[in-house]
Structures are given as C-alpha cells and as structure tokens.
C-alpha cells in the first residue's frame, strides 16, 4: 500500500510542526487492516522527520480511525527556552521594593526607616544571566536559545566591585542609593523639622531626610534619595534615586516630584509625578499628571481625573468616578521618553562633528610640526586640541552608553507580550485608555477587569 497516495504530510514554515492529512479521493486504496503505527512512523521518517513524533496520538488515530479527525498533529518540535536575565541580589535594605506583584505590598511605616551601611559592608551581588535551553525542530536540527541579558549596573561613588564574587562593597559609611546605572553610598543630610525660612531650600550631593513637611514654594534636590516624614505641598522634589513621602502631595497644580528610580507616596492630589521606574501610591490619585516608565501601582485607591502614564502596566482599584470625570490612562512609551531619546541623538551627532573638526585640526598641526615646527602659539593650540579631543571622546562614550541602555530598555518594552490596566474595582464612563495612536473610551461601568493592549488592539477580560 502506497501511503503517499492516501496521506499528505504538511510541515509548518518554522519546521516545528507536522500534520498528517487524508486524501479523500484515494480512500478506496486504504486498507485499514494493513495500517499500523509502525507503517505510519516509517512514512514519517521517509520525510526526514525524526524528532518530536507523537506516537501515542498516531496510535489513537489508527485505533479510532475517522475521516473527520484529520488533519492530525504527528510531530512537534521543542522550542528553545530563553535564558534568564541577570539581576541584582541586594544584601541591604534599600527602602525600595525591587518587585511589585501580588505578594509584595508597601509598608509606609517601614519605608520611613533609613538604614545605613558601613565601610566594607557587602551591598549587592550581580547574578549572571543564563544561556537558556536549546530546542530542536522536527528534522532534528538544534535551535539555539536566546541568552539572557546581563544586568547593567556599575560601581558608583563610595563603592567597589570585586570580580572574585561579583559583588559590590561599600568603601565609606552612608546610605545606599541605586539608580538605573549604578549603586552608590552617599552621605545622608537630615532636617529635623519642616522646611521654613530658617532651613531654606535644600540641595545636597547625597540623600536627604526631612522629618516634617515641605511647604508651598520650597525646593528639595538630592543626588541620592529623598525621604519626607510629612506632607509635600506645592513644592518641588527632585532625586537621582527614589523619593519616599509618608503623607501626601497636595500640589495645587504646581507641586512636583521627580525621581530617577521609584516614587512611594500615600496620596496624590493635583500634583505632577515622574519616575524612571515605578510609582507606588498607597491610596488615591486625584487630578494629577503621573508618569512611570514601568508601573503605576495605586494599591488601595482610585484614579480620578488627570492622566496616568505607564510603560508596562497600571494597577488600581477604581478609575474615574460616579461624576464621570474625564480620566486618561496612557500605556506604552510616553512623549517625554521620545523627546529625551531625540535630544540624545542630537547631542551624539554634535559630539561627533566636534571630534571630526578637532581631529582635522590635529592632523594639520602635526603636519606643520613635521615640516617646519610649531610656533609657541601653535604648540598651545595642539595641547588644547589634545585635551579637548580626549574630553569629547569620553563624553561621547558616556552618552552613547546611556543611549544604548535607553535603546535596550525600549526594545525590551517593545518586546512585551502586552501592556495592561488592571482595575480591581470599577472603571467608570468617560475613562479613556490610550496606547500610541489607538484609544478606547468607556461609556458604561465595567467591574473587576483587565484591559490589555496587544497587536494594536484592546481586549477586556474578567479578573
């Protein structure tokens, strides 16, 4: 019996799946008495299919032979498993919850504890990425896995990295501050009261602890973290690391908090928040502009009015209110990120142009030096050219490294399977969800749902 006249084997373009189909026109040539698992497998081998053959399914097909069962999957390859990305394992309390999920909530009382480290303390260990697990297609060809990405954090001020154990250590006493780029130990400046005319604005090259309020009109800047025990009014807070506020931001449309990493706060009313990673709000967000590169987590409250932007997900209880207040949720890359990337591209091109000009000047001066020697003025010019060129190249290297990290981050965001809003309560009418040029407006109440944006479309599912 010629099985090739009765059956057809179809192989997917990826070489990961094969199906057996029945040619109905030649059914009369099929002798079921001669059909067994071994003959089918031999037929499959004739097509050079050697891996992932589904012998159990083939046996079931023969024992319960029916035309309507076809096509039948007869072989399936093994997909490679992507390697796990590298990560930082911290050995000290950072006041920052490094992961946000169902098992991790924020204890605002605990956040207000300011742990310090001493010289020699082990701060963190860089865990290397894994290579992943190879796969194999149905023809037995190996499929290389995508290796995990290494963690890109370097030793910053008052820290050192030891290759022997892949760990960071403190070289001075102070408070640990982590940014997207490095881990540092910075001095801690404490203000034992609310800011007033006596204390003035605070600008410190380390971390700042304020054991009181930040009233309207004041400014606080820190290269590390900022911790406020009280209330922040229409004031400005800017931190290279994270910002922790035990009470609320009552911004009156003017107050703003900007953090290179995370923002943890109890409540936000008419304020502006911008974080390089996550924003965690213990209660509610009212009529504010809130932007986080990764996640906005409004733990027990609601989002009413204004706009909330997150690169990956927004988690909250309610969105909008019974008054149908206009509320916008933006998912994906935001305008500020796009503008920042464009500015970096312009700066990189500017550095390259300056380097080219300086290199030409250096070539000309060296040619003159070789031919007839340089005058004192030309000697100074050559020295200045060498110094400026070296400085520009260092600046360009740093900027390109930062730009490549940004691009890598954006690439990871773009490779997300989906971005979503999870509402553990109600989404009210007049709420609009926007992702790029796509948007979805709610006209009726929806309860206990996730809104997922995937493949340029929104979908709603119960949670």
Torsion of CA 297, 303, 309, 311, to 10 degrees: 30
Q: Are residues 207 and 66 in the same domain?
A: no
Q: Does the residue 368 lie in any domain?
A: no
Q: Is the dihedral of CA 100, 103, 109, 111 positive or negative?
A: negative
The domain boundary residue, chosen from 76, 92, 124: 76
Q: How much of the chain is helix, strand and coil, in % rounded to 5?
A: 25, 35, 40
**Cβ-count burial of 381 within 10 angstroms (0-12 exposed, 13-18 middle, 19+ buried)?**
middle
**Cβ-count burial of 14 within 10 angstroms (0-12 exposed, 13-18 middle, 19+ buried)?**
exposed
**Distances from the Cα of 82 to the Cα of 109, 152, 235, 447, angstroms:** 39, 19, 46, 36
Sequence-distant (≥ 6) Cβ neighbours of residue 163 within 8 angstroms: none
Q: Are residues 68 and 207 in the same domain?
A: no
Please, are residues 239 and 225 in contact by the beta-carbon 8 Å criterion? yes
CA atoms within 13 A on the CB side of 387: 6
Q: Does the residue 203 lie in any domain?
A: yes
Q: What is the pTM of this model?
A: 0.66
**In this structure, what token pair is assigned to residue 358?**
């300086």
Give dist(CA 76, CA 68) in Å, integer: 21
Q: Does the residue 105 lie in any domain?
A: no
**What pLDDT sits at residue 295?**
93
Q: Are residues 72 and 198 in the same domain?
A: no
Q: Does the residue 58 lie in any domain?
A: yes
**What pLDDT sits at residue 25?**
63
Q: Which residue has the tokens 């340089």?
A: 374
**Distances from the Cα of 319 to the Cα of 34, 286, 294, 305, 336, angstroms:** 66, 10, 19, 9, 24
Torsion of CA 292, 297, 301, 303, to 10 degrees: 30
Please, are residues 186 and 175 in contact by the beta-carbon 8 Å criterion? yes
- Give the domain extent around 259: 190-335+418-462
Give dist(CA 129, CA 131) in Å, integer: 7
- 313: β partners: 295, 420
- Give 402-459 pLDDT, tens digit per residue: 888 776 655 555 555 568 899 999 999 999 998 878 889 999 999 999 999 888 888 9
Residue 67 has a CB neighbour count (10 Å cut-off) of 8
Give dist(CA 75, CA 293) in Å, integer: 42
Give dist(CA 235, CA 201) in Å, integer: 10
Q: Are residues 70 and 200 in the same domain?
A: no
Give how far the C-alpha of residue 225 lies from the chain's centroid of Cα atoms, to the nearest Å: 21
Q: Does the residue 233 lie in any domain?
A: yes
**What pLDDT sits at residue 24?**
67
Domain count, the chain: 2
The domain boundary residue, chosen from 11, 42, 76: 76
Q: Does the residue 223 lie in any domain?
A: yes
**In this structure, what token pair is assigned to residue 432?**
């609009």
Q: Does the residue 99 lie in any domain?
A: no
Give dist(CA 237, CA 256) in Å, integer: 6
Low-confidence ranges of the chain (pLDDT < 50): 96-112
**What pLDDT sits at residue 108?**
45
Q: What three-state secondary structure class fits 82? A: coil
Helix or strand run (H / E) with residue 458 = strand 457-462
Q: Are residues 66 and 208 in the same domain?
A: no
Q: Is the dihedral of CA 414, 300, 307, 97 positive or negative?
A: negative
The domain boundary residue, chosen from 17, 45, 76: 76
Give dist(CA 134, CA 117) in Å, integer: 42
Q: Are residues 292 and 432 in the same domain?
A: yes
Q: Does the residue 222 lie in any domain?
A: yes
């Amino acid at each position: 019996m010629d099985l090739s006249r009765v059956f057809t084997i179809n192989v997917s373009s990826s070489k990961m799946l094969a199906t057996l189909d029945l040619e109905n026109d030649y059914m009369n040539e099929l002798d079921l008495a001669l059909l067994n698992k071994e003959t089918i497998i031999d037929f499959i081998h004739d097509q050079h299919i050697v891996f992932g053959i589904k012998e159990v399914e083939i046996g079931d097909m023969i024992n319960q032979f029916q035309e309507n069962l076809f096509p039948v999957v007869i072989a399936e390859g093994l997909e490679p498993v992507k390697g796990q990305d590298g990560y930082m394992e911290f050995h000290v309390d950072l006041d920052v919850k490094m992961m946000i999920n169902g098992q991790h909530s924020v204890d605002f009382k605990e956040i207000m504890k300011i742990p310090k480290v001493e010289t020699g303390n082990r701060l963190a260990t860089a865990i290397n990425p894994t290579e992943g697990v190879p796969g194999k297609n149905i023809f037995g060809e190996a499929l290389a896995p995508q290796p995990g990405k290494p963690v890109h954090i370097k030793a910053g001020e008052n820290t050192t990295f030891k290759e022997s154990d892949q760990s960071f250590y403190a070289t001075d006493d102070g408070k640990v501050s982590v940014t997207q780029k490095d881990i540092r130990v910075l001095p801690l400046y404490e203000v034992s009261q609310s800011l007033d005319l006596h204390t003035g604005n605070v600008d410190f090259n380390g971390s700042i602890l304020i054991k009181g309020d930040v009233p309207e009109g004041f400014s606080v800047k820190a290269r590390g973290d900022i911790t406020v025990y009280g209330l922040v009014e229409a004031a400005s807070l800017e931190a290279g690391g994270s910002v922790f506020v035990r009470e609320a931001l009552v911004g009156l449309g003017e107050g703003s908090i900007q953090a290179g990493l995370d923002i943890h706060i109890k409540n936000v009313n008419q304020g502006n928040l911008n974080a390089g990673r996550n924003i965690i709000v213990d209660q509610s967000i009212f009529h504010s502009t809130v932007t986080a590169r990764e996640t906005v987590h409004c733990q027990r409250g609601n989002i009413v009015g204004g706009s909330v932007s997150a690169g990956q997900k927004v988690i909250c209880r309610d969105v909008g209110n019974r008054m149908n207040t206009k509320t916008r949720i933006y998912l994906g890359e935001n305008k500020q990120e796009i503008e920042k990337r464009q500015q970096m591209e312009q700066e990189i091109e500017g550095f390259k142009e300056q380097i080219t000009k300086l290199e030409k000047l250096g070539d000309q001066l060296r040619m003159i030096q070789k031919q007839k020697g340089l005058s004192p003025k030309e000697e100074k010019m050559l020295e200045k050219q060498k110094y400026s060129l070296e400085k520009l190249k260092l600046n360009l290297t740093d900027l390109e490294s930062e730009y490549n990290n940004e691009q890598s981050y954006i690439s990871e965001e773009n490779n997300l399977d989906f971005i979503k809003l999870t509402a553990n309560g109600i989404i009210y009418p007049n709420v609009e969800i926007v992702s790029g040029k796509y948007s979805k407006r709610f006209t009726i109440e929806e309860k206990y749902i996730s809104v997922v944006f995937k493949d340029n479309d929104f979908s709603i599912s119960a949670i």
